[in-house]
């Protein structure tokens, strides 16, 4: 079979196409270039995708891992040549099932290939089931190691025997061991179950005997307790009847006390609210405090009146002291201004020098004018005489005026000093200063009198306001009150009634609680007339003990009877016991036969291994010699498919874990190539898919491997995916 072309929308492949040729195809691509995806795509085209697989820790199911990155549907096409016919395989979505739709047609005609279906296409074209293909011709990334699988094992066994592939050694061995476990597994095996059943049968027989004995004993003890239980019930009823009578008496007394307490509360409330509802207790107590403040206010008012009288007396004295006849109805400033003017007038000396000088000048001018007239200087003598007369009169008048002025000033000063009873002008100012100081003292006394009057008025207003507020407070519940004495009495009475009402309410609350704690008793039961032997507590305790013992006995009897009913008929149990013993013997015989069959199977498998292993190991050793340049030339494959390599001329084989990673990959590649040769059909060999299988090879062994693969490419198509350029360079160099 040869792959010609692949087209895929699969994982990171978005409508990508890959064309292939015969022989060795080296497909170079970088990391994340789609190499592993192309390999998985080819496998999925042949064998489909397991839709039942689920994601697990560290693993993504194939249906989720290869969902197209572009968000489209998973689909693909593979064109191939098989037995000389061109065939095209197509897969796509079917509903929500990825690759659920399958189609196989002949490439040239488009006609369906009738013998190919979605389920058998891989096994038909490849010539092997998926698990054989994955362990031979398909090497995934990092998956060169090979492990066992029933299909691969069956095919190897068929090659070594008759060619029958329907069953493998491991499957037969597993089936035989399952049958062994089914018969003798510790918990679920038939033999342990039968042994357990027989042991249980013996146990049941013992339980039946014990249950029968317990039932008989319980019946005897119950008969004894019944008589004592009836007597204790009668004594309990007698105690109960007497207790009910006492309870009724207590209940009736509590009801009477409750009614009396209610009547007392109603009476107190009626007395308290006779004319109206008084304020609350806090308000009344506050009013009492205000009454007490009225007494203190009265004392303060008396003191204020005394201070006012004293201020008035001081004001009268100061006012009398501030009266001076020289300054009638004058303010201190006016008096000082007048006194200052009078003191200045009394001390002032009149200035007459100008008048005397003017008079002298006038007389001189008069004399001059007379001389000029006589001398004839003037035009007429009479003019000189007239001028002389006028000037002489003016000069004499000025001398007279100056004398009169001086006389009047002296008389005025004497009069002023006499009026002020002062010896000099300074005494006048002293008297005015005394008047001013007396006025200041009188003003201060008047101010003190006004302050005292204001304080008294404020106390009187407060007294009036308080009395009015108290009267307004008590009038709703004491309308006849008219003075503070009545107010005090009304408040005291209301507080006393409030206190008594509170006490009555407390008694009522206690009576209500007592009445509530005593439910109405049922009618008193008739006394059975039995005299109790014990007090009520001991009677109840004995009755409870008797009932408990009866209950225990009934329960024990019921359990014993139930045990007997559950355990069934002893005859049937004995019959089943014999049947179980016979079946146990048969199962033990089968178990021995199965052990013999397993030993025979192991011997047969060892023979098959001896016949087939040499061929597989020899062919794998040849391939390993080619891949390692002859350093290793022998391979051994254990029954668990663990490969061991032996150096040429070496003494013992080495396990893969003891080899380098590259040599271990070469060892398993040699085993896979040998498996391809031996277990896969050779008439139409399937392609060999290698995904980075040479990644851990050094350059020299890489060249040896490529040479080996190129040789194999003459027999089958090989797809080698690699992320290195050395493989391509080697091929081009060839």
Give 624-658 as a DSSP string: HHHHTTTSEEEEEE-TT--EEEEETT-SS-EEGGG
**Contact present, 144 and 668 (Cβ < 8 Å):** yes
Write the burial class of residue 483 (CB in 10 Å: 0-12 exposed, 13-18 middle, 19+ buried).
exposed
- Give the per-residue pLDDT at 349: 46
What are the helix (H) ranges across 166-189?
Answer: 169-184
Structure tokens at 481: 């009150």
**Contact present, 125 and 1 (Cβ < 8 Å):** yes
Cβ neighbours for 722, distance < 8 A, ≥ 6 positions apart: 26, 27, 28, 29, 35, 692, 694, 695, 728
**Contact present, 247 and 518 (Cβ < 8 Å):** yes
- Give the per-residue pLDDT at 159: 45
* Whole-angstrom distance, CA of residue 370 vs CA of residue 248: 163
Among 326, 512, 350, smallest CA distance to 436 is for: 326
**Contact present, 183 and 590 (Cβ < 8 Å):** yes
Give one word for 447, left, alpha or beta, with left for phi > 0 and alpha for psi -120 to 50: alpha
DSSP 213-256: HHHHHHHHHHHHHHHHHHHHHHHHHHHHHHHHHHHHHHHHHHHH
* Whole-angstrom distance, CA of residue 332 vs CA of residue 321: 13
**Contact present, 92 and 48 (Cβ < 8 Å):** no
Rg of the chain (C-alpha set): 73
Give the β-pairing of 2-10 and 688-691: unpaired
- Specify the DSSP element, H or E, that contains 103: strand 97-106
* Whole-angstrom distance, CA of residue 641 vs CA of residue 173: 17
Quick count: other Cβ atoms within 10 Å of Cβ 252?
Answer: 12
- Give the per-residue pLDDT at 223: 85
pLDDT in tens, 418-430: 777 777 878 777 8
Helices 150-160 and 169-184, axial angle in degrees (round to 10): 120
- Give the per-residue pLDDT at 38: 95
- Specify the DSSP element, H or E, that contains 78: strand 75-82
Quick count: other Cβ atoms within 10 Å of Cβ 328?
Answer: 8
3-state helix, strand, coil split of the chain in percent (to 5) is 65, 10, 25
* Whole-angstrom distance, CA of residue 335 vs CA of residue 436: 8
CA angle centred on 643, ends 640 and 646, rounded to 5°: 140
- DSSP code for 23: S
* Whole-angstrom distance, CA of residue 76 vs CA of residue 90: 6
- DSSP code for 524: P
- Give the per-residue pLDDT at 146: 59
Over the chain (734 residues), what is each successive 10-residue block's mean pLDDT?
Answer: 95 93 93 91 93 87 90 94 95 90 94 93 91 85 60 50 46 66 65 70 71 79 84 84 81 84 85 82 83 81 85 81 76 80 68 56 66 63 64 63 59 70 76 80 85 85 83 82 82 84 85 80 72 86 86 80 70 72 76 70 56 74 89 80 81 83 88 86 91 90 93 93 91 84
With b meaning 16 or more CB within 10 Å and e meaning fewer, what string describes 536-563?
A: eeebbebbeebeebbeebeebbeebeeb
* Whole-angstrom distance, CA of residue 10 vs CA of residue 63: 10
**Contact present, 532 and 238 (Cβ < 8 Å):** yes
Quick count: other Cβ atoms within 10 Å of Cβ 35?
Answer: 22
């Amino acid at each position: 079979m040869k792959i010609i072309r692949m087209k895929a929308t699969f994982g990171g492949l978005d409508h990508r196409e890959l064309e292939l040729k015969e022989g060795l195809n080296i497909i170079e691509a970088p990391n994340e270039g789609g190499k592993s995806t192309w390999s998985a795509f080819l496998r999925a085209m042949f064998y489909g995708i397991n839709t039942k697989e689920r994601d697990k820790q560290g693993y993504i199911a194939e249906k989720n891992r290869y969902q197209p990155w572009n968000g489209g549907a998973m689909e693909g096409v593979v064109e191939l040549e098989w037995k000389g016919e061109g065939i095209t395989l197509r897969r796509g979505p079917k509903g929500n099932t990825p690759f659920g739709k399958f189609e196989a047609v002949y490439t040239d005609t488009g006609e369906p290939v009738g013998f190919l279906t979605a389920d058998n296409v891989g096994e038909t074209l490849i010539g092997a089931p998926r698990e054989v293909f994955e362990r031979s011709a398909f090497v995934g990334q990092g998956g060169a190691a090979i492990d066992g699988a029933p299909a691969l094992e069956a095919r190897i066994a068929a090659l070594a025997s008759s060619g029958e592939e329907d069953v493998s050694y491991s499957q037969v061995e597993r089936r035989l061991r399952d049958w062994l476990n089914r018969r003798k597994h510790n918990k679920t095996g038939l033999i342990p179950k039968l042994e357990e059943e027989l042991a249980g049968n013996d146990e049941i027989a013992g339980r039946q005997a014990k249950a029968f004995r317990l039932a008989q004993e319980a019946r005897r003890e119950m008969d004894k307790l019944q008589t004592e239980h009836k007597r204790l019930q009668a004594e309990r009823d007698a105690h109960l009847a007497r207790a009910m009578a006492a309870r009724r008496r207590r209940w009736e007394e509590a009801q009477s006390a409750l009614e009396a307490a209610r009547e007392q509360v109603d009476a107190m409330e009626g007395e308290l609210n006779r004319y109206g509802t008084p304020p609350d207790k806090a308000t009344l107590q506050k009013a009492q405090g205000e009454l007490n403040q009225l007494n203190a206010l009265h004392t303060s008012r008396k003191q204020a009146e005394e201070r006012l009288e004293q201020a008035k007396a001081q004001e009268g004295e100061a006012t009398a002291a501030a009266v001076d006849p020289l300054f009638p109805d004058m303010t201190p400033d006016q008096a000082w201004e007048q006194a200052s003017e009078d003191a200045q007038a009394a001390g002032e000396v009149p200035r007459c020098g100008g008048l005397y000088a003017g008079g002298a000048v006038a007389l001189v001018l008069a004399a001059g004018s007379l001389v000029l007239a006589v001398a004839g200087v003037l035009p007429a003598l009479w003019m000189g005489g007239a001028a002389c007369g006028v000037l002489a009169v003016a000069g004499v008048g000025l001398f007279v005026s100056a004398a009169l002025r001086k006389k009047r000033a002296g008389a005025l000063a004497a009069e002023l000093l006499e009026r002020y009873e002062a010896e000099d002008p300074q005494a006048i100012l002293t008297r005015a200063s005394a008047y001013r100081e007396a006025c200041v003292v009188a003003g201060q006394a008047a101010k003190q009198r006004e302050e005292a009057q204001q304080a008294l008025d404020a106390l009187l207003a407060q007294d009036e306001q308080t009395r009015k507020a108290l009267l307004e407070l008590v009038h709703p519940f004491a309308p006849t009150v008219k003075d503070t004495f009545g107010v005090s009495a009304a408040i005291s009475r209301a507080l006393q009634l409030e206190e008594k009402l509170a006490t009555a309410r407390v008694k009522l609350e206690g009576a209500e609680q007592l009445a509530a704690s005593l439910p109405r008793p049922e009618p008193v039961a008739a006394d059975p007339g039995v005299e109790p032997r014990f007090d009520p507590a001991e009677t109840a305790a004995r009755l409870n003990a008797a009932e408990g013992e009866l209950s225990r006995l009934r329960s024990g009897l019921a359990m014993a009877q139930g045990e007997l009913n559950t355990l069934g008929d002893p005859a049937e149990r004995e019959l089943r016991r014999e049947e179980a013993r016979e079946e146990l013997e048969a199962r033990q015989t089968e178990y021995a036969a199965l052990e013999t069959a397993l030993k025979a199977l192991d011997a047969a498998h060892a023979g098959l291994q001896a016949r087939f292993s040499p061929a597989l190991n020899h062919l794998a050793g040849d391939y390993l010699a080619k891949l390692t340049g002859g350093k290793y030339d022998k391979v051994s494959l254990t029954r668990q498919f663990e490969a061991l390599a032996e150096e040429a001329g070496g003494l013992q084989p080495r396990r893969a874990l003891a080899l380098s990673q590259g040599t271990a990959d070469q060892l398993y590649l040699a085993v896979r190539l040998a498996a391809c040769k031996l277990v896969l059909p050779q008439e139409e060999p399937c392609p060999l898919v290698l995904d980075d299988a040479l990644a851990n090879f050094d350059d020299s062994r890489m060249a040896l491997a490529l040479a080996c693969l190129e040789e194999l490419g003459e027999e089958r198509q090989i797809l080698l995916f690699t992320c290195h350029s050395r493989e391509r360079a080697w091929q081009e160099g060839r």
